[in-house]
Chain A
Amino acid sequence: GAVVSQHPSWVICKSGTSVKIECRSLDFQATTMFWYRQFPKQSLMLMATSNEGSKATYEQGVEKDKFLINHASLTLSTLTVTSAHPEDSSFYICSVTGTASTGELFFGEGSRLTVL
């Protein structure tokens, strides 16, 4: 399956600052990447679908100005949490799909954001 790497794996920042999380597809050219958010003891919540070379598609209730997504290349997508606040503290996970014929979803290791 696809190898997906996220960086950083954890970050602590002050309220009001912006944080960028990178998601790299190491062995697969991902035209589509997904960004999920996971609260403790809960399932994954899809935030947005990131398409290479075009604007991301955000799920209902996700602020696109708050969570900036850029997918400039086939192997890299970034999520920037702008003007972070404590309620943005969460586990953020990216994923990529395999080939269209299999439709599997492969996840990165996740990034733990803590906003003080």
Chain B
Amino acid sequence: GQQLNQSPQSMFIQEGEDVSMNCTSSSIFNTWLWYKQDPGEGPVLLIALYKAGELTSNGRLTAQFGITRKDSFLNISASIPSDVGIYFCAGRYNFNKFYFGSGTKLNVKP
């Protein structure tokens, strides 16, 4: 099956720093999605990307759909303590098939 490689696995940063994480796939996707999951809760959709090359922002978050359609990155600028959580990428090829990365655990020191 399709593999999504997400990196880094975890990050420890200082409040105010920028953060970058990315996902790569062995196959192309039509949609890339980025989620944040807090402990004991379901993932919450942050950004959805639909076209190769697309760059989309949501507040301090920016994500891009790679031009090859096999990768995507998420940037968080000026991190704050509430950014702590696990971030997942997800790729969609067919309507009912979503593939998830292994997650990036973000820790922010005040």
Contact = CB atoms under 8 A, between A and B. Distances in A.
29 contacts: A4-B42, A6-B42, A32-B96, A34-B96, A43-B88, A44-B88, A44-B100, A46-B98, A91-B40, A93-B43, A97-B96, A102-B48, A103-B30, A103-B31, A103-B50, A103-B92, A104-B33, A104-B48, A105-B33, A106-B45, A107-B35, A107-B42, A107-B43, A107-B44, A107-B45, A108-B42, A109-B42, A110-B40, A112-B40
A54 interface: no
A61 interface: no
Given A6-B42, A43-B102, A102 B50 contact: yes
Nearest to A49: B96
Chain B: interface size category:
20 to 34
- 3 smallest beta-carbon distances between A and B, as pairs: A107-B42, A110-B42, A103-B31
Contacts of B33: 104-105
